[in-house]
Amino acid sequence: MIIDVPELALVALVGISGSGKSTFAGQHWKPTQVLSSDFFRGLVADDENDQSASADAFEVLHYVAGKRLAAGRLTVVDATNLQSHARAGLIKTAREHDVLPVAIVLDVPESVAWERTQGRPDRTFDRRVLTRMHRDLRRTLGQLAKEGFRKIHVLRGVDEIAAAEIRYEKLF
Ligand code: GTP
Ligand code: MG
């Protein structure tokens, strides 16, 4: 599956924990192109899992995204992006820099994500958290277009995610 992305875009990865966002980002972009919420939580709170640091972490993430977009650099946001207020912040940042907001949704079965989570020492939440995320994802799928995402790519299942290829579109 070819995913068309404008050569300058703010790309929001969207998916439940364990859907493979960070893995996907690592496969398709340079580390410096990817701003991950974990990294910024670590930066402001010395703990990538400190959810109480999220507000500060996203403030800094948006600031860095803005600097990158102002310099004409494609920027990928690796966070679950399952809440409309979180996505609204990204849309706002993209608009401020006259850049297209693009969503790439990694839609894997909850059971697959849960199984993967069992092998991760850095993820200790219980199943209900994942169930809630999965419900939020279903709702998100119906909201992305009206929120302002200009391109929405939904990769359904592990095989589609593995087969995805990014193709860059020239802006002019
Ligand atoms: P959060 O950061 O918790 O939101 O998760 P994430 O969406 O970033 O998932 P991540 O990329 O960290 O992947 C979760 C786990 O699944 C990791 O242990 C990965 O190695 C594994 N994983 C990711 N993608 C694949 C895949 O395509 N196949 C297999 N077998 N494992 C994968
Ligand atoms: Mg991740």
Span from the CA of 86 to the centroid of ligand 2 (angstroms): 16
How much is the ipTM here?
0.98
Ligand of minimum distance to the alpha carbon of 125: 1
Is 146 exposed, middle or buried (CB count within 10 Å of its CB: 0-12, 13-18, 19+)?
Answer: exposed
Span from the CA of 25 to the centroid of ligand 2 (angstroms): 9
Please work out, in degrees rounded to the nearest 5, the angle formed at the alpha carbon of residue 111 by the alpha carbons of 107 and 112: 60
pLDDT at 112 over 80: yes
- Rounded mean pLDDT of 14-24? 98
Flag whether the pTM goes above 0.90. yes
Q: Would the CB of 6 count as within 6 Å of ligand 1?
A: no
- Rounded mean pLDDT of 140-145? 98
Q: Would the CB of 21 count as within 6 Å of ligand 1?
A: yes
pLDDT at 172 over 90: no
The pLDDT tens digits for 23-61 are 999 999 999 999 999 999 999 999 999 999 999 999 999
Return the ligand 1 atom nearest residue 25 CA. Answer: 11
Ligand of minimum distance to the alpha carbon of 105: 1
Task: Tell me the DSSP string of 122-146.
Answer: T----HHHHHHHHHHHHHHHTTHHH
User: What is the rounded CA–CA span in Å between residue 11 and residue 78?
Assistant: 9
What is the per-residue pLDDT for 89? 97
Span from the CA of 134 to the centroid of ligand 1 (angstroms): 15
